[in-house]
Amino acid sequence: MMAIAALWIGVLLLGGGFALDRTLARMVESNFDDQLEYLLNAMIVTAEIGPDGEVYFNRPLGEPRFLEPNSGLYWQISGAGQLDTPSRSLWDTQLELQADHLDMEPHFYDSAQFDAEPLRIVERTVLLPDSDTRWTFAVASAREELDFQISRIRSILIWSFALLALGLMAMAMVQSYYGLSPLRRVRAAIQSMRSQGSNRITEPLPLEVEPLVEEINALLAHTERQAEEARMHAGNLAHALKTPLTVLTNAATARDPQLASLVFRETKTMQRHVEHHLARARAVGRRASGHSRADVWPSAESVLRAVTRIYEDTRFDLDGNKLAAVSIERQDLDEILGNLIENAAKYGGGSVFVTIDAEPEAECCTIWVEDDGRGIPASERSRIFDRGARLDTGKPGTGLGLAIVRDVAEIYGGSVELDESEDLGGLLVKLTLPRAGI
């Protein structure tokens, strides 16, 4: 910020200083030229032609420096075929004029004729009455005073702009220091939070950094929730594995003759629990990897093709919005729909209806999966989401399907509800997922 401020201040001051220097220098030079032109006009209006064709003044010019030798102010009158008429101040020298052209208007230029005395000259070509000669009137003045005024103006500008630059830099430093002070307070609050063990920034801070503080607190809350979820699922997994391990330990200690079958059965149970938690962990990881998007219709068609091969006698119907898209990874959407449709086919009576996004104008996308089975009593619908919960133990299963569906859907901000199907009379599963942006 300071480097950019210094660069910008320098560019502006240099540009402004150069423009102001040029303007003031031209003003001083213009004023100097006006004085020379005034003297030139005074010469012209008082000039007349004498009896011998020479030029003379009918009254004195009124400038005493024209009479003082080497005074720094000179005049000269030149004409083709005529002798030059110089001022007394030129003494024994003459001005070297630009006589190769005619100047009907005043013409100003600089001359270095005198080594120690640069000159500013104005000349004009005039036709005097009773004369056919084109006379060149010239007035010259030493530039010493003009150059001194310009040099003084530049010196004042340099010092003024240098002080202005220092003042602006000081103001920029003070502004940056106080402007960034809220960030230093945020840093101090974070350091205090880390050293004191608090989990939020509660110190009152300026309005400028309130959005930053809110985002930091939201990030801390999100991290806490993730840590708490990790601890909870680690505890759940440990609790789920505890019972099979106890069974195996007891059977091994008692030298149970059925140890092999027990090992097979309990390890399958442990494997199901591990797969459940791994599925949830994968969903969390994919959600954190970035913005997710999946098209519902292709996913449902893919799942139906796979499930149809297993349940060939079941009739599957798919209907709804073919353009629906949700904010979820395709792998997780396939797993959710796979569990729901397979359960409907397994516990239904032979018919499964899948309806996608019947209300496309709604904020979320809703997917209905219905079957014509016996359904689930209302009193058991909340318990069925528990890991390992099964109402029909006569069919093979792990009791983890709906638990996985609920956990993965909630990870992406969705939900799962159970109800009774009005059309088929069996179970209706209402899956709601956040709609993907266009």
Query: For a pLDDT cut of 90, what percent of the chain falls above it?
Result: 32
Tell me what pLDDT residue 240 has.
66
The answer, yes or no, to whether residue 195 has pLDDT greater than 80, is: no
Among 23, 65, 28, 19, smallest CA distance to 146 is for 28
Q: Which long-range contacts (CB under 8 A, 24 or more apart) does 268-276 make?
A: 269/244, 270/240, 270/241, 270/244, 270/245, 272/398, 272/400, 273/237, 273/240, 273/241, 273/387, 273/400, 274/237, 274/241, 275/400, 276/387, 276/400, 276/403, 276/404
pLDDT range class, residue 277, cuts 50, 70, 90: low
pLDDT at 282: 62
pLDDT value, residue 390? 46
Integer angstrom CA distances of residue 247 from 242, 262, 274, 276: 9, 8, 18, 21
Res 168 pLDDT > 80: yes
Q: Which of 1-5, 30-34, 298-302 has the lowest mean pLDDT?
A: 1-5
CB 283 within 8 A of CB 332: yes
Residues 195 and 143: their CA atoms lie apart, in Å, by: 75
Q: What is the band of 115 on the pLDDT scale with cuts at 50, 70, 90?
A: confident
Band of residue 291 on the pLDDT scale cut at 50, 70, 90: low
- Residue 369: predicted pLDDT: 93
Q: For each of the domains in the chain, give its residue range(s) and CATH number, in order of start.
A: 2-151 (3.30.450), 207-286 (no CATH), 292-434 (3.30.565.10)
Identify whether the C-beta of residue 128 lies closer than 8 Å to the C-beta of residue 53.
no
Dihedral pair phi/psi, residue 364, rounded to 5°: -110, 160
Single pTM value for the model: 0.47
Q: Is the pLDDT of residue 397 over 50?
A: no
- Residues 263-278, mean pLDDT to the nearest whole number: 74
Per-residue pLDDT reduced to its tens digit, 307-321: 998 888 899 999 999
pLDDT > 50? residue 386 = yes
pLDDT band at 75 (very low <50, low <70, confident <90, very high): very high
Q: Which residue has the higher pLDDT, 431 or 378?
A: 431
Share the mean pLDDT of the chain.
83
Q: Which pLDDT does position 139 carry in this prediction?
A: 94
* pLDDT value of position 400: 52
Q: Which of 57-61, 178-182, 290-294, 338-342 has the highest mean pLDDT?
A: 338-342
Quick one: pLDDT at residue 183? 83
In 10 A of CB 263, how many CB atoms? 15
Number of Cβ atoms within 10 Å of the Cβ of 215: 10
The yes-or-no verdict on residue 391 having pLDDT over 50 is no
